[in-house]
């Protein structure tokens, strides 16, 4: 397991961070986004979409639970899921996300406790609002795909301490 921590000082900064992270992603990757209401999960996903070069816009879906954003650069598509209204893992299964999984990067907002079953390799990203309005971001990389902490070197600009690359 690899862990990494950083600080996102504003929404544009969070989008820039998302773009840097998005540029690292490959088909078959799974990201589980956690954090309270308004933590910045959709904002981060907007950045991911920019970094991946998929067609937007990335919005906060009211009725739509999953949206597919095709690539504009011959890369993987982005499947953006908002699991907030899902009743449980059976409803997540009903979305049939695994039919696209290997050709897509799958990002699940509110995915904690639900989306882990989609892939044994995944990034679990938790956004925590600070009292000054910025967001702390904690990433746990689970599985062989994320075992190399050097993967996160391009994110160094956002590191908030000297101990981000611990491997346990």
Ligand X SMILES: Nc1ncnc2c1ncn2[C@@H]1O[C@H](COP(=O)(O)OP(=O)(O)OP(=O)(O)O)[C@@H](O)[C@H]1O
Residue 92 touches ligand X, criterion: CB under 6 A: no
Min dist CB 61 to Mg ion, Å, is 8
29 binds, among ligand X, Mg ion, none (CB under 5 to 8 A by kind): none
Positions 106 through 145 that interact with ligand X (CB under 6 A): 109, 133-135
Residue 57 touches ligand X, criterion: CB under 6 A: no
**What DSSP string runs through 3-58?**
EEEEEE-SHHHHHHHHHHHHTT--TT-EEEEE-STTSSHHHHHHHHHHHHTB----
> What distance in Å separates the CA atoms of residue 142 and residue 56, rounded to the nearest whole number?
28
Footprint of ligand X (CB under 6 A): 8, 10-11, 13-14, 35, 37-43, 60, 109, 133-135
Footprint of Mg ion (CB under 5 A): 41-42, 60
């Amino acid at each position: 397991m690899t862990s990494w921590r950083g600080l996102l000082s504003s929404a544009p900064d969070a989008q820039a961070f998302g773009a840097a992270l998005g540029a690292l992603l490959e088909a078959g990757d799974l990201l589980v986004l956690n954090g309270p209401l308004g933590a910045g999960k959709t904002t981060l996903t907007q950045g991911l979409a920019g970094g991946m070069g998929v067609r937007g816009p990335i919005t906060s879906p009211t009725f739509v639970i999953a949206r597919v954003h095709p690539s504009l650069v011959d890369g993987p598509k982005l499947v953006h899921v908002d699991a907030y209204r899902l009743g449980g893992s059976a409803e997540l299964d009903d979305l049939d996300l695994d039919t696209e999984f290997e050709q897509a990067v799958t990002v699940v907002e509110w995915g904690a406790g639900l989306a882990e079953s989609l892939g044994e390799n995944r990034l679990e990203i938790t956004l925590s609002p600070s009292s000054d309005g910025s967001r702390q971001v904690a990433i746990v990389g689970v599985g062989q795909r994320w075992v190399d902490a050097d993967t996160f070197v391009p994110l160094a600009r956002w590191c908030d301490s000297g101990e981000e690359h611990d491997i346990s």
